[in-house]
């Protein structure tokens, strides 16, 4: 069913309301410092979000002034790394928004697998995966659907993010009891190994289907031949021009008629009907239209790099 989008959601995503939070005078200097020393360009992020989160970090660290905090960032690797992680907003959980994952399990993934030749692997991209809960959720549902439908081909989930520390955690696959509480018991027994203390570790039978890689959605070449791209609750933090670029890369990554799933407060904006058609507006599910979008200038690039479990932010002196 086609449900209308609340116009307030669309406004919050596509507008840059500078009145939402006062801009720090030192913000351009902080952004440049993080770009040079940590390799992340936050100039594509909305100013109110950056200002608010930096101010919160300053308050927790009892910084006496923005100038003093800027000086600390230049001298303190740990604080610089912590600020990068805070600004990247790694909020995720297993099966976040259960109704959306129910639709994936019952309708979307079976439709993608039905009649698929075993030689044609199912390729899913979890963009902005943080610590991996979303990517593993997608992999579990895809494998479960493959078993029900008798699909014997490969299932591959590409899990990408900018935050190397978050990726390393996801790659290890160790989660607390609180984190795995949202995993259905049948899936928990099948795809996790119980750990001492109540936590759980991803079983190798699931882990081999998920590839973690450090990747810049705005600057690195997109993956290819993707059947389902999932990019939830990332676009809302980006400036409108950066959102357009991210959507262009996601569009390029998809197979003809591939699917794009966004977050509950996100839309494809002016790309609707031109580059994407609506499959289910209430769940923010869209289908790629067969058009060629103009190539936009690339931003800073990392290249898609697999992340070892012990790698953290490459902060430089």
Phi and psi at residue 287, to the nearest 5°? -115, 140
**Cα(297)–Cα(294) distance, rounded to whole angstroms?**
10
- State residue 12's pLDDT score: 59
Residue range 131-158, pLDDT digits in tens: 999 999 999 999 999 999 999 999 999 9
- State residue 239's pLDDT score: 93
Q: According to the 3-state scheme, what is the secondary structure of 7-41?
A: HHHHHHHHCCCHHHCCCCCCHHHHHHHHHHHHCCC
User: Which of the pair, 7 or 231, is modelled with greater confidence?
Assistant: 231
**Cα(94)–Cα(89) distance, rounded to whole angstroms?**
16
- Please determine, for residue 251, whether its predicted confidence score (pLDDT) is greater than 50: yes
**Cα(255)–Cα(275) distance, rounded to whole angstroms?**
13
CATH of 98-288, one of 1.20.120.160, 3.40.50.150, 3.40.50.300, 3.40.1190.20: 3.40.50.150
Whether the Cβ atoms of residue 24 and residue 281 lie closer than 8 Å to each other:
no
pLDDT band at 74; cut points 50, 70, 90: very high
Phi and psi at residue 232, to the nearest 5°? -110, 125
**Cα(32)–Cα(36) distance, rounded to whole angstroms?**
6
Q: Which tokens is 159 given?
A: 């899990």
**Cα(116)–Cα(123) distance, rounded to whole angstroms?**
12
Q: Which of 237, 264, 261 is nearest to 250 (CA)?
A: 261
DSSP letter at 107 equals I
Please list, in sequence order, all residues whose beta carbon lies within 8 angstroms of the beta carbon of residue 142, skipping any fewer than 6 positions away.
109, 113, 122, 124, 155, 157, 209
**Cα(232)–Cα(236) distance, rounded to whole angstroms?**
9
Domain residue spans in the chain?
7-88, 98-288
Three-state SS at 226: strand
- State residue 229's pLDDT score: 98
Share of the chain above pLDDT 70, in %: 85
pLDDT band at 15; cut points 50, 70, 90: low
pLDDT band at 198; cut points 50, 70, 90: confident
Q: What is the pTM of this model?
A: 0.86
């Amino acid at each position: 069913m086609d449900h209308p989008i609340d116009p307030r959601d669309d406004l919050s995503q596509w507008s840059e309301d500078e009145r939402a939070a006062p801009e720090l005078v030192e913000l351009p200097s902080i952004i440049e410092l993080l770009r040079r020393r940590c390799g992340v360009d936050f100039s594509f992020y909305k100013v109110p979000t950056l200002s608010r989160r930096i101010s919160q970090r300053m308050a927790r660290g009892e910084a006496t002034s923005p100038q003093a905090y800027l000086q600390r960032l230049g001298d303190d690797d740990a604080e610089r790394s912590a600020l990068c992680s805070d600004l990247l907003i790694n909020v995720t959980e297993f099966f976040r928004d259960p109704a959306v994952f129910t639709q994936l399990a019952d309708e979307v993934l079976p439709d993608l697998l039905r009649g698929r030749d075993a030689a044609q692997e199912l390729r899913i991209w979890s963009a902005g995966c943080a610590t991996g809960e979303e990517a593993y959720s997608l992999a579990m549902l895809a494998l479960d659907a493959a078993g029900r439908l008798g699909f014997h081909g490969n299932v591959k989930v590409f899990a990408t993010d900018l935050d190397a520390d978050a990726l390393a955690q996801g790659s290890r696959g160790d989660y607390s009891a609180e984190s795995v509480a949202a995993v259905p018991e049948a899936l928990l027994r099948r795809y996790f190994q119980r750990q001492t203390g109540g936590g759980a570790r991803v079983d190798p039978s699931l882990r081999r289907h998920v590839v973690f890689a450090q990747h810049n959605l705005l600057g690195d070449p997109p993956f290819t031949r993707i059947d389902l791209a999932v990019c939830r609750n990332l676009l809302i933090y980006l400036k409108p021009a950066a959102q357009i670029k991210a959507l262009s890369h996601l569009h390029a990554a998809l197979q003809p008629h591939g699917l794009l799933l966004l977050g509950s407060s996100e839309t494809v904006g002016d790309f609707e009907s031109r580059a994407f058609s609506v499959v289910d507006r209430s769940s923010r599910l869209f289908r790629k239209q067969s058009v060629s979008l103009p190539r936009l200038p690339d931003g800073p690039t990392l290249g898609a790099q697999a992340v070892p479990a012990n790698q953290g932010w490459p902060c430089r002196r």
